[in-house]
Amino acid sequence: MDISSILQGGYHHALPRTWQAKQQLTKSMLMYPIFVTDEADARVEIPSLPGQCRWGVNRLEAFLAALVKKGLQSVILFGVPVKSSKDARGTLADDPTGPVISAVKLLRALFPDLYIACDVCLCEYTDHGHCGYLNPDGTIDNTSSVARLAEVALNYAKAGAHCVAPSDMMDGRVKAIKRSLIEAGYGNGCTLMSYSAKFASAMYGPFRDAAGSAPSFGNRKCYQLPVGARGLARRAIVRDMGEGADIIMVKPSLPYLDIIADAAQLAADHPIACYQVSGEFAMIHAGAAAGVYDLKTMAFESVEGMVRAGATLIVTYFTPEFLEWL
Ligand SMILES: NCc1[nH]cc(CCC(=O)O)c1CC(=O)O
Ligand SMILES: [Zn+2]
Ligand SMILES: [Zn+2]
């Protein structure tokens, strides 16, 4: 055989196989999404998200201490008000006694080395379930939405969040949030991770079950990106860098590896995050349960694909498993 035909010499053994990846998956690349409810003692399983629960603030210490011991380094918090009543303003988003603010303060005190991000959006807190404020005709009022999102993000930073992560997809929210952080003196101490390329995906269903955040009418297609829109995603990434995002996120992940690769190229000097969303996680579990593949092998293959595409931070419900496996 010709010299130039031989590749297997470079990967015939397990160790050189690991050298073939430009970047290895490590525990520090994992961020774990946590649903925190306003029922302080709750531990409610989420049927569509295998193994995931809604946690009351009083349950977080025991749950997270075990994971921190295994190497958990970061979480992203989602508030899930179940007993308090939602309003058009989304007052509960930054209720000083609400789940997110309480959890941030508690986790900062309990786990000094844990990096705490807060998802910033209004859909979990508004009575209509949309990610921003509405005009009387049901369309989004971008200007008032952005002002409120900036207020919520600042209140999370004031409570101690290391990172605020707007997932609402309103235009101009990154700039507004960055400005409000800087003006209040938090600009240098709080990361802004933008869900820059967030698509209007069919794969958010289990999350909306978990968070009770499905829109009561319509859909999110006027603010989340159209599935085929690679150009818009690229423009959103460039726009958000210009508006002061510290981390660029792509969401969902597996059907959007081209977008992750685009982000890695366009935002070459930024960390690139991707969110392996609830529907991806549920799909991998469902396939494993149906005997299509082995769960662990598939979980690794999915995330290694994201890393290969250029992701340096993976938001995933598999975090507890990866902490065991890595
Ligand atoms: N803005 C809400 C939000 N923040 C994160 C997710 C999805 C996360 C997941 O599916 O795991 C969603 C769902 C949505 O936009 O409806
Ligand atoms: Zn939302
Ligand atoms: Zn959100």
On the CB side of 3, CA atoms within 13 Å amount to 0
Q: Span 93-98, mean pLDDT? A: 96
Confidence of residue 211 (pLDDT cuts 50, 70, 90): confident
**Could you give the CA distance from residue 45 to residue 37 in angstroms, rounded to a whole number?**
12
ipTM: 0.93
pLDDT at 151 over 90: yes
Ordered structural domains, the chain, with CATH: 24-325 (3.20.20.70)
Given this model, what pLDDT does residue 263 score?
98
Q: Which residues contact 191 (CB under 8 A, 6 or more apart)?
A: 117, 162, 163, 164, 246, 247
Q: Span 258-287, mean pLDDT? A: 98
pLDDT at 5 over 90: yes
Residues with CB under 5 A from ligand 2 (ion): 121, 123, 131
The alpha carbon of 126 and the centre of ligand 1 are apart by a number of angstroms equal to: 14
DSSP-derived letter for residue 85 is P
Q: Which of 31, 80, 100, 121 to mutate to test the pocket of ligand 1 (most atoms within 8 A of CB)?
A: 121
Q: What percent of the chain has pLDDT over 70?
A: 100
Pocket of ligand 1 (CB under 6 A): 119, 121, 123, 131, 167-168, 204, 207-208, 213, 220, 277-278
pLDDT at 318 over 90: yes
Ligand 1 atom with least separation from CA of 279: 10
Whether the CB-CB separation of 131 and 168 falls below 8 Å is answered with yes
Confidence of residue 212 (pLDDT cuts 50, 70, 90): confident
Q: Span 304-313, mean pLDDT? A: 98
pLDDT in tens, 221-239: 899 999 999 999 999 999 9
What b-and-e string marks burial along 28-49, b requiring 16 or more CB atoms within 10 Å of the CB? ebbbbbbbbbbbeebeeebebb
Q: Span 197-207, mean pLDDT? A: 96
pTM: 0.97
Ligand nearest to the CA of 166: 3
